Structure 1
Amino acid sequence: MNRKILDKQAILLNITATDWENAVRICGDLLVQTGKVETTYVEAMIRNIHELGPYILIAPSVAMPHARPEDGVIQEGISVVVLKEEIEFENGKKFKVLIGLAALNSKSHIDILQKVAEVISQAESIDRLKNATRYDEILRLFNEKEEHES
């Protein structure tokens, strides 16, 4: 992928969610609004968590809701939602940041996961994500590495 993984329109900061399902829906709706997925994809993201549990927790305080490409992906990309307060799953695991993933196929899935992993592999980056108050802080985290790769 030689383009930016994240656009400003796909970021929400300081958001209040009532529970994990509401948080995932907010994150998925951003993917719909930015033309990355159809509404069926958001329903599939929620259904997957109901069926499989909170497998979307990928780092401390970070969740990555997603579904299969055939559930309604139009274009690859991500959305980022930073919640005002942490949300807890039934098992007590909490998250404050959601990174919605839309991948067209297994190759784009791996490419996007690599970009996300670069960001969340360091505790400092996770702290920057959790405490972000400006869009450019998040855009820099996800897009700056790509600019140096070209």
Structure 2
Amino acid sequence: MKNVLIAALFLCSGFLLAQEGTNMKEKITPPEKVLFTFQKEYPNKIPVWSMEYVGDDNDEVRYEAKFKTDKNQEALAVYDNLGILKAYELQIPLSQLPAKAQAYLKKNYAAKAIKEIAVVVDYKNKTTYEVMVEKDSRFYDVVFDKNGGFDVTIEKN
């Protein structure tokens, strides 16, 4: 009986881990085109690669390279399967956020609610600022335009 319970426990925990794994980013080695582009744009950087399915039907693949910049800041470069850079994200301190965005955050959130701040440049060269905040045990991305004007708040899953 003891062996049956242990087997059932392992089976259930394995099932739960498999379920959780479907929602996580998978660590991988990207295609040669993606590696080549990354190494050309960020020589001597050592990335940690992950893969994520995006799009309306999860039919598009994105390869994400997390790495440290020369100033030891966290950066993320996102590529499609052809090695085309789709977005670049760099973590920044609050002091580098535009004053208008800082004022909005101060008015609407406690200082301890701010968890992460990043400047994001997409493939169209559009710059935005994303601030991850925690409110009522939930996480949100508060997005600002390049001048610090409030754009949108998005709840994180």
Q: Do the two structures share a fold, i.e. TM-score over 0.5?
A: no
State the TM-score bracket (shorter-chain normalisation). under 0.3
- Greater C-alpha radius of gyration: 2
- Name which structure has the greater RCO, CA cutoff 8 Å, separation 6+: 1
